[in-house]
A and B are shown apart, each in its own frame.
Chain A
Amino acid sequence: MSRVIGCGIDVEELSRFDRHTGGNDDALLSDICTEREISNICGDERVCAALRFSCKEAFFKALGRSWTNSSIGWKEIELLFIGPGLENFRVEVHGYAGELLSEKNARIGETSFDFNDEVVIFTVILLQDRE
């Protein structure tokens, strides 16, 4: 048995990632994404970037934290696509973010996303296993 201990939902406008993709300045993405994420582009680069940002924000929200009030690093949450498309993916949590989950005896129970031409939405649900 498990119970929900956190739910984070984040929505991002795709157009806001124009300036960070497509050969434009990618410094921000380098600061928030790991090397693995940066080399793991599937499909539309802009959608990938927005989904990664949204995933990390949703995780922060599920924990009831933000990057400005915790020691969680952006790169401690990784969104990795498996295969050529966006259909299959996994979210990996490392470092302090992983320690926080362990302390709460929690795990990522569900992650999902959707997008259209304008926005991406990412949801993270944290579950706590009961004894």
Chain B
Amino acid sequence: MAEITQEMRDEVKETAYNFFAEECEVERDSLNDDTNVIEDIEGDSLMVLELIETFKKKYNLNIDLKAIGQYMIKHQADTIGKMIALILLIIEHEDKVADLD
């Protein structure tokens, strides 16, 4: 279980914003935490998987995508802000994220 620092929070946020801006070909400044990944900027599941893989690699995370899916049944991650929160939880809890309420 990793301790989340402010530096990590900032890095995850910056990476996620830049990722969606580049992949969805939109201005970085047009995005905010309430931007809906699918409805507002036409993101898709492959993008979400790629973003998660970026952090899996960076933090050498041991997590099965199924565990993330199980968490997302209870907590939709449809906006950039929620996606960032999910990624921080994945970094903090890895596979145990599925057990979180």
Interface residues of A (CB under 8 A from B): 12, 16, 25, 27-28, 31-32, 53, 57, 66-74
Contacts and interface: CB of A to CB of B under 8 A. Distances in A.
A74 B68 CA distance: 12
Interface string B55-85: 0110000001110111011001100000000
Nearest to B74: A69
Contacts of B72: 68-69
A74 B73 contact: no
A33 to B, nearest CB: 11
Closest 4 CB pairs of A and B: A73-B66, A68-B72, A67-B69, A28-B53
Contact of A69 (B56, B66, B73): B73
B100 interface: no
Contacts of B48: 68
B73 A70 contact: yes
A73 B49 CA distance: 13
Contacts of A28: 49-50, 53
A68 B45 contact: yes
A68 B48 CA distance: 10
Contact of B53 (A12, A27, A53, A66): A27
A42 to B, nearest CB: 21
Nearest to B64: A73
21 contacts: A25-B53, A27-B56, A31-B56, A32-B49, A67-B45, A68-B48, A68-B73, A68-B76, A69-B69, A69-B72, A69-B73, A69-B76, A70-B69, A71-B66, A71-B70, A71-B73, A72-B69, A73-B65, A73-B66, A74-B65, A74-B66
